[in-house]
């Protein structure tokens, strides 16, 4: 995997590139220690056999520094960052996959850019406007590994998928790189306010022309499917919704093979 730094008008960000084939932009969600690899590592080996993957770390996460004005929760800037990545990839059409809030970023990007050919979203936000206890806990910077494990357990159906090495990498990013303090600063404006700032209105969703595959876990507690996935599905024109049982907030982690099969079938379809 090759990592490089890309620049746009509002800062710089890390891009992790691997694989071969048509481009697929991957956008992670928002959480403690989250970055491209934290969200997508389970599916990268399979996807990279079919696609050139461009995994971005959103401004303020992973290897991407905070913006020049410091760390802040800025949904609109993350959408502009994704648009800058599409422009830098430099081909007429790009497919996009977003996880959690990254799914909302992907859909907002698709609404604004005709360059987006197809969209996959997993555990997508953008539909809910009510902060629940699971999301409140997940959007808190943990003080230690035990607290991180508790926060992550609220986001999965089967806690056995949370491997110690994965949690250690997240905690290392929070402590070593100071991302814990950055994350707390992002939440300073209020978690409920942040959640509402990335809500996608029906009028915006109706402008998305790219075919969209929505994959959501039935047991997703931070982003319940009834509040988010159904809202998105109701207002997208060309959309398919797959609801997975025994599945929490990140279907890629708990149902890796099934999610890869569904996504590749959608992305390789010749119907536009």
- What does the alpha-carbon distance between residue 214 and residue 15 come to, in Å, rounded to a whole number? 24
Residue 46 lies in a domain: yes
Residue 131 contacts by C-beta under 8 Å, 6 or more apart in sequence?
A: 191, 192, 195
Query: Residue 165's pLDDT is what?
Result: 85
Query: Residue 169's pLDDT is what?
Result: 82
- Residue 11 confidence (pLDDT) above 60: yes
Average pLDDT of the segment spanning 245-270:
96
| CA-to-CA separations, 235 to 129, 135, 171, 176, in angstroms, rounded | 16, 24, 38, 42
Cα–Cα–Cα angle for 25, 31, 36, rounded to 5 degrees: 25
Core vs surface per residue 124-133: b (16+ CB within 10 A) or e: bbbbbeebbe
Q: Count of alpha carbons within 13 Å of 98, Cβ hemisphere only?
A: 25
**CATH no. for residue 115?**
3.40.50.1820
Query: Residue 271's pLDDT is what?
Result: 58
At 136-185, the pLDDT tens digits run 999 998 988 999 999 899 899 999 998 888 898 888 888 877 889 999 99
Residue 272 banded pLDDT, cuts 50, 70, 90: low
Which residue range is the domain that position 233 belongs to?
A: 2-267
pTM above 0.75, yes or no: yes
Query: Residue 231's pLDDT is what?
Result: 98
What is the residue-wise DSSP string for 30-95?
-STT--HHHHHTTTHHHHTTTSEEEEEPPTTSTTSPPBTTBS---HHHHHHHHHHHHHHH-SS-EE
Residue 272 lies in a domain: no
At 75-115, the pLDDT tens digits run 999 999 999 999 999 999 999 999 999 999 999 999 999 99
The DSSP code for 126 is S
At 180-216, the pLDDT tens digits run 999 999 999 999 999 999 999 999 999 999 999 999 9
- Residue 25 contacts residue 97 (beta carbons within 8 Å): yes
Residue 128 lies in a domain: yes
What is the residue-wise DSSP string for 93-115?
-EEEEEETHHHHHHHHHHHH-TT
Percent of the chain with pLDDT over 90: 85
Residue 79 lies in a domain: yes
């Amino acid at each position: 995997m090759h990592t490089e730094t890309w620049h746009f008008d509002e800062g710089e960000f890390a891009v992790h590139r691997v694989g071969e084939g048509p481009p697929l932009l991957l956008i992670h969600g928002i959480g403690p220690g989250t970055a491209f690899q934290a969200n997508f590592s389970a599916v990268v080996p399979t996807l990279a056999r079919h696609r050139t993957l461009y995994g971005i770390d959103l401004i303020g996460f992973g290897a991407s520094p905070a913006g020049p004005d410091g760390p802040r929760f800025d949904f609109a800037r993350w959408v502009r960052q994704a648009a800058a990545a599409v422009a830098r990839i430099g081909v007429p059409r790009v497919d996009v996959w977003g996880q959690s809030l990254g799914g909302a970023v992907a859909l907002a990007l698709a609404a604004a850019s005709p360059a987006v050919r197809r969209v996959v979203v997993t555990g997508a936000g953008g539909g809910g406007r009510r902060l629940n206890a699971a999301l409140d806990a997940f959007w808190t910077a943990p003080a230690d590994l035990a607290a991180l494990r508790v926060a992550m357990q609220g986001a999965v159906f089967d806690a056995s998928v949370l491997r110690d090495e994965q949690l250690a990498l997240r905690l290392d990013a929070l402590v070593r790189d100071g991302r814990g303090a950055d994350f707390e600063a992002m939440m300073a404006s209020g978690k409920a306010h942040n959640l509402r700032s990335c809500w996608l209105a029906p009028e915006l969703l109706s402008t998305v022309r790219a075919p969209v595959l929505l994959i959501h876990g039935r047991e997703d507690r931070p982003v319940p499917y009834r509040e988010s996935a159904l809202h998105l599905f109701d207002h997208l024109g060309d959309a398919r919704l797959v609801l997975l049982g025994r599945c929490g907030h990140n279907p890629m982690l708990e149902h890796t093979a099934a999610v890869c099969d569904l996504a590749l079938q959608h992305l390789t379809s010749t119907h536009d």
